Chains A and B, each alone.
Chain A
């Protein structure tokens, strides 16, 4: 990172909350805190917004993945040692930065082609990610009015892939089932009946929940009770319920992985740690289906922000700024100010040397606090929290590929799913692929970016998963030729040919850790990007964090000026 530029000192010097890192959870909390009247200072050592949720050009991304995959360093060992505190009442605790990424592997198979436009890309660091139209995330964006800063594109189609590279559309709606070519008549009927069963259950549940409708006749109630899924079934694994409904394996797979978005093999009980309950499966199905057609311009259930994922944290930051939050980029924090007498957090020391005070501190998950002293008797050790990695949940492998041709002609933005075991028998997690084209302004027109994702135990397994999907979808140009400038012509010819798979031009594979962090009264750490395709869990976790930080505060309370923005920002 370049030398921090000379900033004028931050004024005022006391805040309710200091936030370090501009990832999505940090930005949402900064915006929520500002909206509820807190004074907030939002810092990021990087020159861009978004932290782990940023969208970056190829050089920026390469640098970000590599730098933050370096072994943990104390950001400021020298400065912290040198920098005495201005006030003798305080001592300084070092803040360490560590990387979430490992096994970074970047290969450029067509250097000249990309050289010309490497800065024209906006690659998502935590891709693939899309939003359900009917997700809470959308509601929160509208409620916070952050949505006015973002425009979206619909994802045009979802497919299920097999090892041979064939893609068949996900029959996720009535119209899609009708048009589907891969299901036979009986399967179509079974799938649609299952959708109706779930819809009937949801309607019945909603009717039972609303006590307003007192006038319902008894017959109606009996019918509704009959259409509800039994409590026992709701608690059973979703996969068992699907089996009980006599759905064939193919349809079960579609429902589990393409619609309910299960992220582990649901059939293999020994390996599967995360069995989805019927209750949750039904809710996810409902979310999926109510997403279809929510916005006039989005054909399917998903949307993607134009200019990339990085737009979302930026939108919340802009919202926060409107509400008085102060932003300083390229500004690191070298240490925390801790009151010597109590051992409690009081403020931060910036890389510029300035000391600022705040009641609370919010850190992005790259930061850990190391004790300044090894002595356990030190009061600071006892009283101040060691903000260290508490649990390593698991790992997620992410991949980014660039091509010059779409996986499907005429469709630019699409999703592909490889259910467990669809590529090879040891594939225990589904692999998700998102292709975004130039019409979303994240790459030059005529080019396409593929994001891949799978949960994994370690880097080797992760790479195997993604390579499996990549070789099913893409053609790898001859490696011996790829270094040579001369053969770029050949590459573009391959790309131009209508037959065969799109040729891979550039790729990055990296493994990201997923962790939850410790927490103290004054210092909180945001969650790492999760392994989901959507933002739902992330927003849930973020809002929960906000509520623990500020228990009696409304999140983005309704204001009289806020009006419904439903779909207005969707580009036609």
Chain B
């Protein structure tokens, strides 16, 4: 039961408990011998009933009764009356057991078992449930059983919805009732039952109901959970849509000619390899079924026919928001000075489906131009930049209009325009607008602030093409919440970070203000690589990846990051600085495994190795898990057992430069391990590797 403190036993009770235990033991041993000898006599069955009334948790006894019932039923199959009396007896035993402990799984299960035999009046079951729910309105066993009975007697969802309303009227803190309401409404809307065909109207009604509860008692959380569910129902797009892509529509991309070395550069801002040119599709939700038959890529030259599309997710599931493939352009096919039109068509044939089973049905097409560039190399090699140094004086402010019109063009077209989206979102926007205005009256309480912040954020998510509004207000709200409610600091901080990133990535201007040219003393020319610097923002979570697919060099240093989940979408990333954050383990860096282009990584000055268990993350491949496969991890790295996580994340990476200093894990032996693990490594913690 809820809200009832447990009282310590009095000495008198203790004696009674001991006596009871003695009696129970006697009963139990007698029962077990009956069970073993398969004795199903009347007396033996009665004994088990007696035992279960005292201890309903004894599932062996429930099973024994099932066997007894089966045997007895077999004997009197023809006589409906005796069948009834046998089953009625079972219901009675269950009821008595539930009176003793109405949270006994075994007892509820036994009752279901009896009911499945097609017995008992369902009205009686509902009556019984009303009794149990009167005792404890939030007893989830009773709610589960109610769903079972309602399904068995084909009670309409509408009637059950009415029941949740009654329960909420009695006590608005009933989480179970609110939850069941959300389940029933989802069903009704899915079935498009009469009165539930119009999602707009249904949700408006529900907002009105929960609003009454929230204003009545803003401290009660159950209603807020329901409000959150409603908000999700309002905002969530049913249809999978393509949000952004790399390359973007209409872009013009220069590739170094094949006779120059891969991965090395021209005077341009972007550097690609013709052998490993990524295509990235970013959807608005998790989808599966992205493959060479659902996505067609055509161009003027002959491509390898079957492109392998990979889901970019750290787990092994076959669904992801982001999908990528890599083009390997055959050297011979390309001629310089000629431009090749590439077209990517998504969803022209069926097969891409959301996790809820909705098919991708708004075909998109992305076309861009590729051409070969035979610019002469200045000083030849990769190592021409020497070691990348993430120091402020190595970055020069990007001056708009200086060189790269293609960058400007790109930043203008980061998101894909979906007409469906903009027309469908009018009623959602109205609902959210109304809700926001109403909840502004509760801004003097914690949850009111949070809700307004959530509503404003949702409003922006409905209009992905427009510049987000109210960002400043939302950021202020989260800042206030962090001060007001320190125990949930992290949650507010994460949301604050997401909104901040939304703001930063919202426009070309604000992105450009964070773009810098990298150059160091060894580089005489202006045109070093372009770096997006999101450092010193105090962000604790990353987001807005759909607008960052173009980034090759990223500085996230001096933040409060604990994880880089989602960063795997940035397939072009070749230099990444994560120093001075709060990473606690290599598992927090698992996304790196998907970043095949990464060459330079700085994870110095973090907390890697100082926590034996990373409590912020709880799922990770262990050396024993099958998902990793029979990989070569037991080849002869001396310390790979000790450094399993580092091994798992960093193996197969072509890093040329790595900084790990300032972490608890760093040691001489770790460095030795890294040098062995990463044969391409040229710089480790600023020291040239032999």
Residue numbers of A with Cβ under 8 A of B are 174-175, 177-179, 185-186, 188-189, 192, 196
Residue numbers of B with Cβ under 8 A of A are 168-172, 211-213, 215-219, 438, 441-442
Q: Which residues of B contact A185 (CB under 8 A)?
A: 211-212, 215, 438, 441
Instruction: Return the chain A residue nearest B212 by Cβ.
Output: A178
Give Cα distance in the complex from A572 to B170, angstroms: 18
Q: Which of B168, B171, B215 contacts A189 (CB 8 A)?
A: B215
Instruction: Return the chain B residue nearest A296 by Cβ.
Output: B134
Q: Which residues of A contact B169 (CB under 8 A)?
A: 175, 178-179
Contact, CB under 8 Å: B441 / A192: no
Give the shortest distance, in Å, between A172 (CB) and chain B (any CB): 13
Given A192-B216, A192-B217, 8 more contacts at CB 8 Å? A174-B172, A175-B170, A175-B172, A178-B168, A185-B212, A186-B215, A186-B441, A188-B212
Instruction: Return the chain B residue nearest A185 by Cβ.
Output: B215
Contact, CB under 8 Å: B171 / A188: no
Give Cα distance in the complex from A435 to B442, angstroms: 39
Q: Which residues of A contact B213 (CB under 8 A)?
A: 178
Instruction: Return the chain A residue nearest B171 by Cβ.
Output: A175
Contact, CB under 8 Å: A178 / B441: no
Give Cα distance in the complex from A188 to B438, angstroms: 13
Contact, CB under 8 Å: A178 / B172: yes
Q: Which residues of A contact B219 (CB under 8 A)?
A: 196
Give Cα distance in the complex from A189 to B211, angstroms: 11
Give the shortest distance, in Å, between A299 (CB) and chain B (any CB): 10
Q: Which residues of B contact A178 (CB under 8 A)?
A: 168-169, 172, 212-213, 216-217
Q: Which residues of B contact A175 (CB under 8 A)?
A: 169-172
By DSSP majority rule, is chain B's interface helix, strand, loop, or mixed? helix
Query: Could you list some 16 contacts between A and B, CB below 8 A?
Result: A174-B216, A175-B170, A175-B172, A177-B216, A178-B169, A178-B213, A178-B216, A179-B169, A185-B212, A185-B438, A186-B441, A189-B215, A189-B442, A192-B216, A192-B217, A196-B219
Give the shortest distance, in Å, between A226 (CB) and chain B (any CB): 15
Give the shortest distance, in Å, between B449 (CB) and chain A (any CB): 15
A189 and B218 in contact (CB under 8 A), knowing A178-B212, A178-B213? yes
Q: Which residues of B contact A192 (CB under 8 A)?
A: 215-217
Q: Which residues of B contact A188 (CB under 8 A)?
A: 212, 215-216
Q: Which residues of B contact A174 (CB under 8 A)?
A: 172, 216-217
Give Cα distance in the complex from A177 to B168, angstroms: 12
Give the shortest distance, in Å, between B170 (CB) and chain A (any CB): 6
Give Cα distance in the complex from A94 to B438, angstroms: 74
Give Cα distance in the complex from A174 to B211, angstroms: 14
Give Cα distance in the complex from A174 to B216, angstroms: 7
Give the shortest distance, in Å, between B127 (CB) and chain A (any CB): 15
Q: Which residues of B contact A177 (CB under 8 A)?
A: 216
Instruction: Return the chain B residue nearest A196 by Cβ.
Output: B219
Give Cα distance in the complex from A174 to B217, angstroms: 7
Give Cα distance in the complex from A185 to B217, angstroms: 11
Give Cα distance in the complex from A499 to B322, angstroms: 65
Give Cα distance in the complex from A553 to B10, angstroms: 34
Give Cα distance in the complex from A178 to B222, angstroms: 14
Give Cα distance in the complex from A35 to B211, angstroms: 56
Give Cα distance in the complex from A403 to B212, angstroms: 36
Q: Which residues of A contact B216 (CB under 8 A)?
A: 174, 177-178, 188-189, 192
Most buried by B among A175, A185, A196: A185
Give Cα distance in the complex from A196 to B171, angstroms: 16
Instruction: Return the chain A residue nearest B218 by Cβ.
Output: A189
Give Cα distance in the complex from A192 to B215, angstroms: 9
Give the shortest distance, in Å, between B210 (CB) and chain A (any CB): 10
Instruction: Return the chain B residue nearest A191 by Cβ.
Output: B216
Q: Which residues of A contact B212 (CB under 8 A)?
A: 178-179, 185, 188
Give the shortest distance, in Å, between A198 (CB) and chain B (any CB): 14
Q: Which residues of B contact A196 (CB under 8 A)?
A: 219
Give Cα distance in the complex from A192 to B442, angstroms: 13
Give Cα distance in the complex from A374 to B211, angstroms: 76
Give the shortest distance, in Å, between B132 (CB) and chain A (any CB): 15
Give the shortest distance, in Å, between B486 (CB) and chain A (any CB): 13
Instruction: Return the chain B residue nearest A178 by Cβ.
Output: B216
Give the shortest distance, in Å, between A202 (CB) and chain B (any CB): 17
Instruction: Return the chain A residue nearest B219 by Cβ.
Output: A196
